[in-house]
């Protein structure tokens, strides 16, 4: 299975910098074995989308609304993302769950909306440090999967991203054994729910992925790619991570 490397630019990048980064990624993407997707801030989707159109680099959003349209000031509908050429959307990122109070039910509704619009949802799950230290990591993640994913998730080509909350932006990364244990648990849950289709769902690892640790993390069983934060803002670093995918 081709590995998927997703760059989450978060709230970074004005137009000139975003365009420069997109051009550099397009120039370096030929010949990669992995599939690349970049998720710039909403203000840069049109500019970046125009640059990556027709290239091996795909475009994604960082969030979408559960509603298709209407009086929802400040929100972005899934169809607005597809209108700009997006193929993917990140949903349920820990920063949204924590900073914006998004529940599993909200993530579920947004995932339904993304699928209805023809987007591939990348649904994030993961435990906090307190939950991990209380040995509740698998329990928490299993509950997130059960409540966040709609029945049509596998058929829509949905993707899961495991992001240990304690490893995001901290410089800490889970050990290879940590990743193997959780990814195996996620796979079991997906197969139990979706049958054979659950065995084909890509499970990305996200949490301080960088060029220095990408090869070892991407080689772990059941790791189908990476959700990359800070390192995706540097073209050569992001491309190095993609080159590590085999």
Active site positions, annotated: 93, 163
Helix (H) or strand (E) segment spanning residue 189: helix 176-194
CB 9 within 8 A of CB 38: yes
Q: In 10 A of CB 136, how many CB atoms?
A: 14
Between CA 153 and CA 166 the distance in angstroms is 27
Between CA 93 and CA 8 the distance in angstroms is 10
Question: What is the distance of C-alpha 187 from the center of its chain?
Answer: 17
Which residues sit in the known binding site? Answer: 8-10, 169, 208, 229-230
Cα angle 206, 146, 101 (rounded to 5 degrees) comes to 65
Token match 């139990």: residue?
192
Which residues sit in the known binding site for substrate? Answer: 8-10, 169, 208, 229-230
Q: Give the β-pairing of 225-228 and 203-206.
A: parallel
């Amino acid at each position: 299975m081709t590995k998927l490397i997703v760059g989450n630019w978060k709230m970074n990048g004005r137009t000139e910098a975003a365009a420069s980064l997109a051009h550099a990624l397009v120039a370096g993407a030929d010949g990669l074995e992995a599939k690349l997707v970049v998720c710039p801030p909403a203000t840069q989707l049109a500019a970046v989308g125009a640059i990556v159109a027709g290239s091996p680099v795909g475009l994604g959003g960082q969030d979408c609304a559960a509603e298709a349209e209407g009086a929802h000031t400040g929100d972005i509908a899934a169809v607005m993302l597809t209108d700009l050429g997006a193929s993917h959307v990140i949903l349920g990122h820990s920063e949204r769950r924590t900073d914006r109070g998004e529940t599993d039910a909200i993530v579920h509704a947004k995932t339904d909306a993304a699928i209805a619009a023809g987007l591939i949802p990348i649904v994030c799950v993961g435990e906090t440090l307190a939950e991990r230290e209380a040995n509740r990591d698998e329990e928490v993640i299993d509950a997130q999967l059960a409540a966040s994913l709609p029945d049509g998730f596998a058929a829509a080509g949905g993707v899961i991203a495991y992001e240990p909350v304690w490893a995001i932006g901290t410089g800490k990364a889970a050990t290879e054994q940590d990743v193997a244990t959780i990814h195996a648990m996620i796979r079991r849950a997906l197969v139990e729910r979706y049958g054979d289709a659950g065995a084909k769902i890509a499970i990305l690892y996200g949490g301080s992925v960088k060029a220095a640790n990408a090869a070892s993390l991407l080689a772990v069983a059941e790791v189908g790619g990476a959700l990359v934060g800070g390192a995706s803002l540097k073209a050569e670093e992001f491309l190095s991570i993609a080159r590590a995918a085999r």
